[in-house]
Structure 1
């Protein structure tokens, strides 16, 4: 980067140094506008795509009305008396100047003043705050986070009108300088966890956060990448995020990302869904139990089926119908593994297929995999039925990372059962239990909290959807 000092020398020299520093002549989206304020030369530097035309027009109109007699000698007086815009700051550092311009702020250089002024009337391109496709609810709010940091913070602030709500800004990445906001309630957050998180964030030394929050998460947790269980809870819903903040959690918002990263979190907190709280307690408890049961069944259904096919004499007479009746040309384990991959292939195809072709693709895939493959002898109808249940069960909870963790645990259990039989099934079950037991959150707490360590109050809250007034009492008892 050009290292000449842009805060020393006359106006002409500083303007030329800024042109070289920003390489304005090489980038047509960078704007340099020369004009006169009160008889003094001035220049604006900004990015065309972030410029909010109406506000900038009003500010320029005000500048043109300033007479030479109104221009003070002291820059602080100039700020206090003449600038009509509220959101502004003084820049006395070259790195801060570059970041301000490339972030979309309009930086003003005025002849005779050493300090450069940054005015923030930028407007980032963005979509509307529609309900996220993945975190839909049957009742409740229909807004969702977008890719701009400030509107996302406003959606949280709209729900928590408390001065204890704090947003701490950190920029990460030598090239990207990505804005990352850490959100928490100052009177409810664990101070030790907050200090540890801020220490890790400020210690990150990377060129850029290429994949936004995924890159950030891998920088925060540098070890344990073989463990498939998610260390964070992601949500695109402002109401869910605000509820977690009020419970004492820390939320990380990353610029250019439409999801909030919530931590510390446990397995039981990840399984929770917003629909649990938009229905009465009885209905919410039923939804929570059914989701938990479906996830457990989706892990053990196909491995138990393979185990019973290896020992058909274990099948009770009343359940003889579960046996495969048609001839098998491909071993059942191989069929199940092929279908595990095929389901993901269909999912990726649906993501990359234009919306107008999604329905025809689904019909073709259903006919081919559901009928022709059975008739051709590739798969047996019983195995297709069980895998259909597994595929549907993957969508019973909104956390995609947890869905893939369940999938990987099922595959390892399936392979071990297919190779080693009963002993493989037992070994796979032990791995399934030990993996979350050995997982730790950022505060060192067990991943299965409140089961381990046991907390009766919080465990009741995680399994049973209680009334909101009772929830307040449980939180108070747990804090004691």
Structure 2
């Protein structure tokens, strides 16, 4: 839970300023600005963060303050905020916890002599990039905008798509040090009230110092996953159209400041493998894409373990498929070939992520030639094994969820090891374990990946 300062603003102007100067590192931090000026013959002190304030807006507001005379100065802060501040977002604060949080969030807060409250003006202008289409979650015919790291921009992108008064966006915060803003978005006439109350209750009861990894830190704090079950508990998207569609389906969308993606609840295995292209095409095409993606996702798990099972028991292989048999000499056991290639593919993927863009294509070609041609000629790997692992590596990218891709990879590795050690019994046991991982993977909503209620 957030640690709050209970101290209230007093009537003594000097005491209020002294407390602010002691609490905020005004002298040590160059970006915390303390600006003194006179308003209507009274002293006033402004506090704000350099880099967050719109200079043009503050210049006009301060210019209007300088024109206030002693006769025109209201007697209380409430009247001053209504009559003398020419700005749209103004608030009157009496708790120092709210005052400090607003200052450190980027708003401008100022005290006026004789007032028992502080005045807050939201003149923030956060550094932000453009709402370009995300690299990972692209669409052929859909919109070309995407979430950014500024939470207000993200809520606006969804509000632009849903012009309904039932769309509620509740703002809260988590982390005693970070005080990270969290927006819980839902359609009040469609949401599951039990799920919504569960989510809000868990966020309010969070006892964490910070959300250093934004949404991932929030996800880990909301639901303590079992380390041995790799399937993700939440669905993430960087597309505002996908988030808006989920809201209209009655789901809850959680936005975290500084994170360019939305967390969607509840979720299932079918939700995980969906993508925006499924909805931007005619019904028949969309269904075909869903079915194809589902079949290919299943194939990425079972294709290489099945091949290993048949190579260990060639008598089970039908004659029509005899061409898949390994013809060359096997210098390294097939199981070790598969495991080494799994590790090598991950190494190439990590290398591609850290390779400069201008070099990624030529280096990928060189790596493909070395891994493909020379590794087979040297006798380390057989060409059939290279072919099937290449299919698995490419097929992993047919579904958009990165975490689900690695969960399927771990299931495939488990099946390979069990099949190599226990033959048919190991393969059957591995299939049962995969099903158990899915059935007993309880999510925050109380439902598993097969969308079955778990008590």
Normalised by the shorter chain, which TM-score bucket?
A: over 0.9
3-state SS, counterpart of residue 291 of structure 1: helix
1:414 — aligned with what? Answer: 416
2:431 — aligned with what? Answer: 429
Assess if the C-alpha contact under 8 Å between 1:148 and 1:256 holds in 2: yes
3-state SS, counterpart of residue 329 of structure 1: coil
- Two-structure CA RMSD over aligned residues (Å): 1.6
Equivalent in 142, 152, 160 of residue 144 of structure 2:
142
1:82 — aligned with what? Answer: 84
Give the distance between the partners of 2:46 and 2:351, measured in 1 at CA.
Answer: 48
Which segment is superposed worse, 10-19 or 240-249?
10-19
Equivalent in 4, 19, 22 of residue 21 of structure 2:
19
Give the distance between the partners of 2:18 and 2:436, measured in 1 at CA.
Answer: 63
2:110 — aligned with what? Answer: 108
1:474 — aligned with what? Answer: none
What CA deviation, in whole Å up to 9, does each residue of 1:359-414 have, x standing for no partner? 12201211110111111111111111001000111100111111111111111011
Give the Å deviation of 1:222: 1.3
Equivalent in 221, 224, 239 of residue 222 of structure 1:
224
TM-score, with structure 2 as normaliser: 0.96
Give the distance between the partners of 2:427 and 2:80, measured in 1 at CA.
Answer: 76
Equivalent in 234, 247, 250 of residue 236 of structure 2:
234
Equivalent in 201, 208, 221 of residue 206 of structure 1:
208
Equivalent in 291, 310, 313 of residue 289 of structure 1:
291
Give the distance between the partners of 1:66 and 1:9, measured in 2 at CA.
Answer: 22
Equivalent in 261, 264, 279 of residue 262 of structure 1:
264
Equivalent in 438, 441, 444 of residue 442 of structure 1:
444
The number of residues matched between the two structures is: 451
Distance 1:271 1:2, change over 3 A: closer
2:252 — aligned with what? Answer: 250
Equivalent in 354, 373, 376 of residue 374 of structure 1:
376
Alignment of 1:274-313 (within 5 A): 274-313=276-315
Assess if the C-alpha contact under 8 Å between 2:439 and 2:449 holds in 1: yes
1:151 — aligned with what? Answer: 153
Give the distance between the partners of 1:137 and 1:74, measured in 2 at CA.
Answer: 55
Assess if the C-alpha contact under 8 Å between 1:270 and 1:399 holds in 2: yes
Assess if the C-alpha contact under 8 Å between 2:308 and 2:420 holds in 1: yes
Q: What residue ranges of structure 2 are gaps of 5+ in the alignment? A: none
Assess if the C-alpha contact under 8 Å between 2:77 and 2:118 holds in 1: no
Assess if the C-alpha contact under 8 Å between 1:275 and 1:284 holds in 2: yes
Give the Å deviation of 1:447: 2.0
2:341 — aligned with what? Answer: 339
2:400 — aligned with what? Answer: 398
Assess if the C-alpha contact under 8 Å between 1:6 and 1:18 holds in 2: no
3-state SS, counterpart of residue 34 of structure 1: strand
Give the Å deviation of 1:356: 1.3
Give the Å deviation of 1:16: 2.9
1:323 — aligned with what? Answer: 325
Give the Å deviation of 1:4: 11
Assess if the C-alpha contact under 8 Å between 1:7 and 1:92 holds in 2: yes
Give the Å deviation of 1:3: 7.7
Give the distance between the partners of 1:269 and 1:124, measured in 2 at CA.
Answer: 33
1:177 — aligned with what? Answer: 179
Give the Å deviation of 1:2: 13
Give the Å deviation of 1:349: 0.9
Q: What residue ranges of structure 1 are gaps of 5+ in the alignment? A: 454-480
Give the Å deviation of 1:429: 0.4
Which segment is superposed worse, 91-100 or 419-428?
91-100
Assess if the C-alpha contact under 8 Å between 2:255 and 2:262 holds in 1: yes
Give the distance between the partners of 1:424 and 1:204, measured in 2 at CA.
Answer: 42
Give the distance between the partners of 1:14 and 1:445, measured in 2 at CA.
Answer: 51
3-state SS, counterpart of residue 68 of structure 1: coil
What CA deviation, in whole Å up to 9, does each residue of 1:417-468 have, x standing for no partner? 011100000000000111111122323223202xx47xxxxxxxxxxxxxxx
Give the distance between the partners of 1:64 and 1:225, measured in 2 at CA.
Answer: 61
TM-score, with structure 1 as normaliser: 0.91
Q: Is 1:92 matched up with 2:60? A: no
Assess if the C-alpha contact under 8 Å between 1:229 and 1:402 holds in 2: yes
2:121 — aligned with what? Answer: 119
Give the Å deviation of 1:308: 0.7
Assess if the C-alpha contact under 8 Å between 2:7 and 2:97 holds in 1: no
Give the distance between the partners of 2:447 and 2:16, measured in 1 at CA.
Answer: 54
1:456 — aligned with what? Answer: none
Give the distance between the partners of 2:193 and 2:382, measured in 1 at CA.
Answer: 56
2:170 — aligned with what? Answer: 168
Give the Å deviation of 1:50: 0.7
Which segment is superposed worse, 4-13 or 153-162?
4-13
Assess if the C-alpha contact under 8 Å between 1:6 and 1:17 holds in 2: no
